[in-house]
Amino acid sequence: MTEILGDIEGVICYYDDIMLHSSTNEEHDKLLKRVFQRLKEVGLELNEDKCEYKKTELKFLGHVISENGVRPDESKVEAIVKMKEPENVEELRRYLGMVNYLGRYVPHLSTVLQPLNSLLVKETAWLWGHAQASAFTRVKELLTSAPTLAFFDPTKPTVVSADASSYGIGGVLLQEHEEGLRPVAFCSRTLSQTETRYAQIEKECLASVWSCEKFDKFLMGLDTFRLITDHKPLVTLINNKDLSETPLRCQRMLMRLMRYKPIAEYTAGKNMVVADLLSRSPASTEADTSHTEDISSHVSVVYASWLVSDTKLKQIREETAKDVNLKTAFDYTVAEWPEYKQDVMLAARDFFAIQGELSVCDGLLIKGDRIVIPFSMRKEILDRIHDGHQGINKCRERANQSVWWPRISKDIQDRVAACRHCLEKRPSQPSEPLLPTELPDRPFQKIGVDLLEFQGKHYLVMKDYYSRYIDIAYLSSTTAYAVICKMKNSFAHHGIPESVVSDNGTQFTSEEFRKFASDWNFQQQTSSPRFPQANGGAERAVDTAKAILRQDDIFLALLTYRATPIPELGASPAELAFGRRLRTTLPSLPTNFTPRTVNHDQLRVKDEAFKAKQKFHHDRHRGAQQLPELQPGDPVLIKHDGEKGWKLPGEVTKMVAPRSYLVQTDKGPLRCNRRHLRYRSSNDSAGETNNTSGLVIVPDALRHSPEPQQTPTPAPHESPPPDEPTAHQPSSGGYHTRSGRAAVKPARFLQE
């Protein structure tokens, strides 16, 4: 019959039963004429005694259909009411089948069916008791007072409300009318034995998906509809559309939901009376067979990326049961999480924010598709993660495939940082941000000195930090005595400086030079060995001196340098040093050589602006990072530029200058720049750590917070990043990031 009349709108066929429906008499007459014509064409005749025309209410397939909606046929209800109590499982199944046929009308029907459904469980003895008799009687009362369901109208806003209990799921389809929400249909069923072991979020997800599928003929094709649940974490899973962090079982269910367009909303359980009652007293025992094999497949997928023996799985399972934190989270996941964090036991609060990703499987706690590892096994798992001595990011990626626990990312970072093998193979430390030196108060107050070899000859280069004035003196030998003589000659011309900065050459570290500094009353400052950038002013002067020595007339080239204005400062070294210009080979007015007073304040402003620009370009070009300050007693490894591997261990004894430390090694005390030192664990000889909580060896960027400091700065050609990281000692609840940034826990969390 459907093949004959199915294409005519307004006609419903079920075998040889035909129902026509329309909005007006005119439409109804046209529809009747069309149906009669079609039946005549195929040679079918109607039984006039069974035909009813233009009825405002009629019975069809056990339902009474009227302009107000749909209600059960009283004759069907009467048949159920008159049924005697079943005496065996077969009779009970027939009875429940009749009840379930009319169950769409009764939201409270399942409230009393649980005692009856319990008799259908396999291997359950037949025992008809008081609970069953009461349920049998109550069902009759509910059916005789069933409500009238509204007709579904695809133009009206649609709502699906779904809920799950420990033994059943239920849902109700509603639509908004002028008088409020009216039910269109109800559905419910009991959970299978497998489904009763689902985590609560999985049960709630199953209830939502199953309800939508039961109402498929109403929901398919709708632009959108509201899906109401009383499980808040489920709202995020449904609306997010990203299944990557969703529990595997929920992933499969949510994929089935993708053919619909729901917008999930949270409503407190007390406001979901109908769906809640349906779930707590399901009307049928229909199981969702697509989920019965989920446990085994779930476990297989979880372990696919991490080959593990049955013995190890058993150990994880046993340790999970012993771990107070995991056991508490496990129990919450199986039952239901409290709505507010303050209501969660302290042992499980670390898991509250990810409750929507948690599930339980075969005695294990699972986050998404990753096993949550108990505290007692985390050290072992960290060692496995770092088996190949990969870096922090790759170790994290490896862990992301199979295992998880709170703060695992931090623990992996600390584990890699504490590995001696990895420390030895790590690259050199990054350049640190440039620390500009302060402009001295007057010329020749502070100078830098260094030795220069050019074309087989040795020279002493001296540079004034105030004026950038350079002296170049030829050395017949590189002894301390020869250097001292040239410096005395310079001092005789310009006066004795208060401070002399040099490297650690033997000429400057000899007892003879120390005596010279004492007798002539100046302070000697030495930079870190094998780190020329620490005496940047003198190093830059050496480059300038080499350029001068390449000229045919060395003295004319030196005169030209001293008389040429420094663009950033607006004056030449000679003007800054002596307050007057030097006469050169260029013609000039005599008045230009009149002595002038240097405006020191203006000079300082220009100098600071120039050095700030240097710092910006230097730090950005070299990707400079602030290395944390080391403390006396800190164990370190040493690696100078050009060396392979961090192999020489030592211990910091003191900081002799900013970014310069004295380190005690097996070879004796060494002075090293901070860039040549890497913090190591005091027990890293085995490449292991007892870290299980994120509180072990901290890499360089997470160590002590450096204080602002001033050190000698490189000359103009050496430049720095846009921002110099400044780290502060974190307060309680804080930590440092790898870049040295201090992350502090918000005060509201510290008060919990």
- What is the percentage of the chain residues whose pLDDT exceeds 90? 22
Check whether 87 has a pLDDT greater than 90.
no
Check whether 706 has a pLDDT greater than 60.
no
CA–centroid distance for 123 within its chain = 49
Check whether 574 has a pLDDT greater than 50.
yes
**Residue in the block written with tokens 């100098």:** 607
Q: Which of 279-293, 320-334, 370-384, 497-511 comes out lowest in average pLDDT?
A: 279-293
Please write down the HEC assignment for all residues of 103-161. HHHCCCHHHCCHHHHHHHCCCCCCCCCHHHHHHHHHHHHHHHCCCCECCCCCCCCEEEE
Check whether 716 has a pLDDT greater than 80.
no
Can you tell me the distance from the alpha carbon of 510 to that of 528, in angstroms, rounded to the nearest whole number?
16
DSSP string, 38-58: HHHHHT----GGG---S-SEE
Asked whether 195 and 185 are in contact (CB, 8 A), the reply is no
195: its two tokens: 């489904």
Asked whether 439 and 430 are in contact (CB, 8 A), the reply is no
144: its two tokens: 């005789």
Can you tell me the distance from the alpha carbon of 493 to that of 483, in angstroms, rounded to the nearest whole number?
16
- Nearest in space to 603 (alpha carbons), one of 634, 648, 572: 572
pLDDT of 79 reads 66
CA–centroid distance for 491 within its chain = 62
Asked whether 572 and 566 are in contact (CB, 8 A), the reply is yes
Phi, psi torsion values for 30, nearest 5 degrees: -65, -40
Can you tell me the distance from the alpha carbon of 118 to that of 138, in angstroms, rounded to the nearest whole number?
16
Can you tell me the distance from the alpha carbon of 335 to that of 99, in angstroms, rounded to the nearest whole number?
31
Can you tell me the distance from the alpha carbon of 157 to that of 38, in angstroms, rounded to the nearest whole number?
36
Can you tell me the distance from the alpha carbon of 635 to that of 626, in angstroms, rounded to the nearest whole number?
19
Please give the model's pTM, rounded to 2 decimal places: 0.43
Can you tell me the distance from the alpha carbon of 98 to that of 76, in angstroms, rounded to the nearest whole number?
8
Can you tell me the distance from the alpha carbon of 676 to that of 669, in angstroms, rounded to the nearest whole number?
15
Can you tell me the distance from the alpha carbon of 430 to that of 74, in angstroms, rounded to the nearest whole number?
86
User: What are the angstrom distances between the C-alpha of 296 and each of 202, 300, 422, 545?
Assistant: 16, 6, 39, 78
Can you tell me the distance from the alpha carbon of 37 to that of 22, in angstroms, rounded to the nearest whole number?
18
H helices present in 266-352, as ranges = 273-280, 294-304, 310-322, 324-334
- Nearest in space to 678 (alpha carbons), one of 694, 697, 658: 697
Q: Tell me the pLDDT of the chain averaged across its residues.
A: 78
380-403 per-residue burial string, b: 16 or more CB within 10 A, e: under 16: ebbebbbeeeeebeebbebbeebb
Query: pLDDT by residue (tens digit) across 424-468?
Result: 666 667 777 777 788 899 999 999 999 999 999 999 999 999 999
User: What are the angstrom distances between the C-alpha of 266 and each of 107, 211, 463?
Assistant: 21, 16, 74
**Residue in the block written with tokens 């004759």:** 75
Q: Which residue has the higher pLDDT, 145 or 323?
A: 323
671: its two tokens: 């002075």
pLDDT of 492 reads 94
pLDDT of 446 reads 93
Domains of the chain: residue spans and CATH: 2-54 (no CATH), 73-144 (3.30.70), 158-288 (3.30.420.10), 295-417 (no CATH), 635-743 (no CATH)
Query: pLDDT by residue (tens digit) across 504-550?
Result: 888 998 999 999 999 999 998 887 766 666 666 777 888 899 999 99
Asked whether 711 and 658 are in contact (CB, 8 A), the reply is yes
Q: Which of 317-331, 494-508, 608-622, 711-725 comes out lowest in average pLDDT?
A: 711-725
Phi, psi torsion values for 171, nearest 5 degrees: -155, 165
Can you tell me the distance from the alpha carbon of 535 to that of 491, in angstroms, rounded to the nearest whole number?
20
Asked whether 108 and 152 are in contact (CB, 8 A), the reply is no
Q: How many CB atoms lie within 10 A of CB 301?
A: 12
501 has which bridge partners? 448, 525
pLDDT of 522 reads 94
Check whether 278 has a pLDDT greater than 60.
no
Can you tell me the distance from the alpha carbon of 686 to that of 361, in angstroms, rounded to the nearest whole number?
36
**Residue in the block written with tokens 């072992």:** 380
- What 3-state DSSP class applies to 362? coil
